[in-house]
Structure 1
Amino acid sequence: MLERHSELLHAYGRHLGAERGRSPHTRRAYLGDVRNLLTYAAGRGILELGELRIADLRAWLGEQADAGAARSTIARRAASARTFLGWAAHTGRIPTDPSLRLVAPRRHSALPDVLKQTEAAQVLDIAAVRADDADPIHVRDRAMLELLYASGVRVGELAALDVDDLDLDQRVVRVMGKGSKERVVPFGEPARRGLLAWLSVRGALATATSGPALFLGRRGRRVDARQVRSTVHEMLSHLPDAPDLGPHGLRHSAATHLLEGGADLRMVQELLGHASLATTQLYTHVSVERLRTSYEQAHPRA
């Protein structure tokens, strides 16, 4: 069935990129979910997309639940199916959209792990001390960690930054976020110092193919998300009592610490590039949970 619908999938992929502005990572995830659905349908003898019914979609999700798929995975696949089939109906490729009444289990709104403010300070101090050995990679690592925590940018946004995206005088960085939406994010003086140190040694790694990329690897190519994650995990390994977080954990931590410091929720939403304020409100729950924990530890009648 996949070969039968290869042109359809190709057109849908173009739609996700050109019209909906989805990132390559999101397009791969959506297309993977649709391929999974089409493979399942073919196994049930459904070879034409227009033959899919709501019962088939529910059975598809139910089979994944029975196999132990996470609620978040099932919810994402349901959303992928609705987006795909809605597009197919809207463009006249199928007569009706069978996913209109498709309901997936709600995702658990688990509170993310975050660093304490003292832990964030400790890991950044460790990165600064390590950068003193003048190894350009260590200097780069310090700058990446400082900017991740100072700005709350996503790991993909950090990796995509170019040198010209920085304004060190104003201490802001221009970020291209989800949906190709640009935002300007401030950062503090420690991050500025880390970035200045990195820019002073960036030339030691830069090659003719480095282009404008802000952060480079050993061979002079733009860093990727995997390298950034590895750096964050390595640095946090020096704090045995801290949670093992990746770059997204630093983003969570930055948002939580901003709200704990009295920042306005709308400002944090703008800073993080959230389309919905409801997403940002998760961090208020994190702060309340930590407040409750501190209260229960300290109050004699807690």
Structure 2
Amino acid sequence: MDRSCFSDQAADALFPEVPFADERNRYLHHCATLGARPEVLRVKRSELLWIARHLGPEAAAGVGMAELLPIAQARQNIHGAATAIRRVIDIGRPWLKFLGWWREPTVILLYQTQLDRYVAWMRDERGLTPSTVEQWGRRAGRFLLWCEQSNHQLKDLKAEDIDNYIATQGAGRWGRVSIAHVASALRGFLRYAAKETWCSARLAASISRPRLYQQESLPYAPDWSDVQKMLADVDTDRPRDIRDRAILLLLAVYGMRRGEVAALRLDQIDWAGRTLRLFRLKRREAQIYPLVPSVAEALARYVDTVRPPSSCREVFLRMQAPRRPLNVTSIYSIANRRFVALGIRAAHRGAHALRHACAVRLLAQGDRRPSWTPQHRGNKCLRQGEHGSSS
């Protein structure tokens, strides 16, 4: 690659007073190795030159949004483009993070120490999955922030305070399922808090969550005919559609969670043995499933023709630089984008809705047993996907 795409040597010759030349060049070279196109690198080089001219010599001590935003606003005043502020921030913040100079805004809770200990206990002693630790920690953090803002002390909390929290925070926002999840998270935290003598031992027992009935949320799933429309919509030669089709098939045919799709690695696909080895988040163990021909074809097409060369072992990568693995939010967005584009009406329009569609289809075809062995469940679901996913 032409080093002029990411080198600031010419700019340094014209503007010798501009600092941080080495820091800019290192970052641009890093972007180039991640697959950034030459035209993108030129834009980054221009914006970094502007940012560097306005950073003070103490930038290495930390730069936050309070310092970066005025630099971006000054750029817009001169440049005149409405997108100038956003461009400076979008380019400047990753550069500063790369250097370790970015200073994130910190919100320290009054009960931050207690929250940190609770998160560590869930992770290290209970061995909960990272997703569960993050969700329960986030819900406990919101509750502790409410306690702080409403002047409630943990040691003085009463049952009516919990009711008040759910009533005021959930009004117009939380449905029965959400309230049930919040209640479970609060009960778990308050049990731990009681064990640590931070609050009354009777507080957790006073929390009653709404009763959720088995299969009550099944209508939230889209019809299988809508799933087929989504699969047909991505059956094109466009690189992004080739990738998205493989992702949607994994969600709809195997009933995978979005975190399982994002974490799927190349070595989990046994092409010769025609099997797929999945690490199910809830079971915390590997399960072997037959590799459905339609899914195998979609995966092979993506890996062979679209997936960029990368040292990452995850199957699904970003289409643009930096070529990082997709995260769970990206998997949700891929599914949601298809729901919206096709106008499919469903209560939930994301990756988990396709998992529900797989479950609904199993039930509709008569498999109502309360439990399945992993291999039987995989074979049956995949047989159905083999006939239903062709488009």
For structure 2, which runs of at least 5 residues remain unmatched after alignment?
1-107, 378-391
Structure 2 counterparts to residues 253-292 of structure 1, below 5 A? 253-263=357-367, 265-266=369-370, 270=374
Q: 1:57 aligns with which of 162, 182, 185?
A: 162
The whole-number CA distance in structure 1 between the counterparts of 2:344 and 2:145 is: 45
Instruction: State the SS of the aligned residue for 1:178.
Output: coil
The alignment yields a C-alpha RMSD, in angstroms, of 3.2
For structure 1, which runs of at least 5 residues remain unmatched after alignment?
274-302
Distance change (3 Å), C-alpha of 1:228 and 1:39: closer
> 1:165 maps to what in 2?
268
Structure 2 counterparts to residues 85-104 of structure 1, below 5 A? 85-94=190-199, 96-104=201-209
Q: 1:118 aligns with which of 201, 225, 229?
A: 225
The whole-number CA distance in structure 2 between the counterparts of 1:39 and 1:263 is: 45
Contact 1:206 1:216 in 2 (8 A): no
Q: 2:116 aligns with which of 10, 16, 25?
A: 10
The whole-number CA distance in structure 2 between the counterparts of 1:95 and 1:123 is: 51
Identity, in percent, stands at 23
AA matched with 2:335: V
The whole-number CA distance in structure 1 between the counterparts of 2:188 and 2:114 is: 14
Is the counterpart of residue 223 in structure 1 residue 326 in structure 2? yes
Is the counterpart of residue 197 in structure 1 residue 301 in structure 2? yes
Contact 1:258 1:268 in 2 (8 A): no
Instruction: State the SS of the aligned residue for 1:174.
Output: strand
Contact 2:140 2:185 in 1 (8 A): yes
The whole-number CA distance in structure 2 between the counterparts of 1:265 and 1:78 is: 29
The whole-number CA distance in structure 2 between the counterparts of 1:175 and 1:37 is: 32
Deviations 1:241-268 (A, max 9, x none): 6647321121111112223334353566
The whole-number CA distance in structure 2 between the counterparts of 1:32 and 1:67 is: 20
AA matched with 1:116: D
Q: Which has the larger radius of gyration?
A: 2
Contact 2:242 2:306 in 1 (8 A): no
Contact 2:277 2:288 in 1 (8 A): yes
The whole-number CA distance in structure 2 between the counterparts of 1:233 and 1:66 is: 26
TM-score between both structures, scaled by the size of structure 1: 0.73
Contact 1:163 1:213 in 2 (8 A): yes
The alpha carbon displacement at 1:216 in A equals 1.0
The whole-number CA distance in structure 2 between the counterparts of 1:59 and 1:9 is: 21
Deviates more, 1:31-40 or 1:236-245: 236-245
What is the count of residue pairs matched by the alignment? 265
Is the counterpart of residue 35 in structure 1 residue 141 in structure 2? yes
> 2:352 maps to what in 1?
248
Instruction: State the SS of the aligned residue for 2:220.
Output: coil
Contact 2:274 2:291 in 1 (8 A): no
> 2:41 maps to what in 1?
none
Structure 2 counterparts to residues 204-215 of structure 1, below 5 A? 205-208=308-311, 211-215=312-316
